[in-house]
Structure 1
């Protein structure tokens, strides 16, 4: 194994900020590597974590989690999906989707019908209760999305949406 040269491993900024008592201070979002100097992948993950936590808190009193919201959203957009299809679209494991589907079915938000040709494939669709629940969730999530787009004009927002979609498109082959 070759050793990296000092100019590659040495950071231009101090590696850690200390407090008066010598303890290391973790930078806040937006500072240091958690800000504009950070890696794009890290910044995307940090933003996703912040959005997901805010969404969890926003939907909590409705009894809906972010993954459940994602499942409901995909079933509204694409009725009749199988559990495997839902897992792929929501970036969740099939096991997680199985639990979510069982809970949503138990709560009367979705219903299963057998596939017309392949009877072993279960297709899922929203019920009237599921549609009403999703509508209540969506109102709150739209408010969150408006916060996310605050300060962006339509052109900037479209550019960011295009950039994010292009990332997924360009890197999809790496996911196989």
Structure 2
């Protein structure tokens, strides 16, 4: 059975949980149904979509030995070489502690290297190594396929509007 067919079958099948005190059966809606669909709160729908994307990304990158947060760190260090760990944490929405663990692991694996800040010697700056750049390239090829999946059915105008909307939400809510 194809993935789409299996997903469709799951969405049509009621998920049952232990019966409530009145003895009835509780139907848990599948993604896209009820409050998990167009009737849901935007914030919930964004979180649901994020969870689905992250799980798919984790599965996509697993055989490369890269997690979704590691991919985010590699991506930001590629885009902005010389970031500190604190900067990486802010850009990736990860805690400084989590970024510290990721950085240690990526450094141990030879994917990133530390250089001291030219002015503030206690600040450590991180950059990709050639190994890290090659790893990121392999990851990116897979993630771009996922991006294509996400944009399937959207024309360029709709995709641009959605990107603008999502970036606008982040900017507006960051200010408040």
Secondary structure at the counterpart of residue 115 of structure 2: strand
Give distance in 2, aligned partners of 1:49 and 1:79. 28
The answer to whether structure 1 residue 99 and structure 2 residue 101 are counterparts is yes
Alpha-carbon distance in structure 1 between the residues aligned to 2:91 and 2:27: 38
Q: Which residue of 2 is the match for residue 132 of structure 1? A: 134
Deviation at 1:108, TM superposition (A): 0.2
DSSP 3-state at the match of 1:113: strand
Q: CA RMSD in A?
A: 1.6
Structure 1 runs (4+) greater than 6 angstroms displaced? none
Gapped regions of structure 1 (runs ≥ 5) = 1-16
Task: Describe how 1:11-160 pairs up with structure 2 within 5 A.
Answer: 22-160=24-162
Aligned to 2:174: 172
Once the 2 structures are TM-superposed, how far is the Cα of residue 24 of structure 1 from its aligned partner? 1.1
Structure 1 Cα separation of the partners of residues 81 and 142 of structure 2 = 22
Distance 2:68 2:78 in 1: 15
Larger radius of gyration: 1
Q: Please state whether the residue corresponding to 2:127 is helix, strand or coil.
A: strand
CA distance in 2, matches of 1:69, 1:29: 26
Q: CA offsets, 1:105-162, max 9 Å, x none?
A: 0000000000000000000000000000000000000000000000000000000000
Partners of 2:121 and 2:132 lie apart in 1 by 24
TM-score scaled by structure 2?
Answer: 0.87
Rounded Cα–Cα distance in structure 2 between residues aligned with 1:59 and 1:67: 11
Unaligned runs of 5+ in 2: 1-13, 17-22
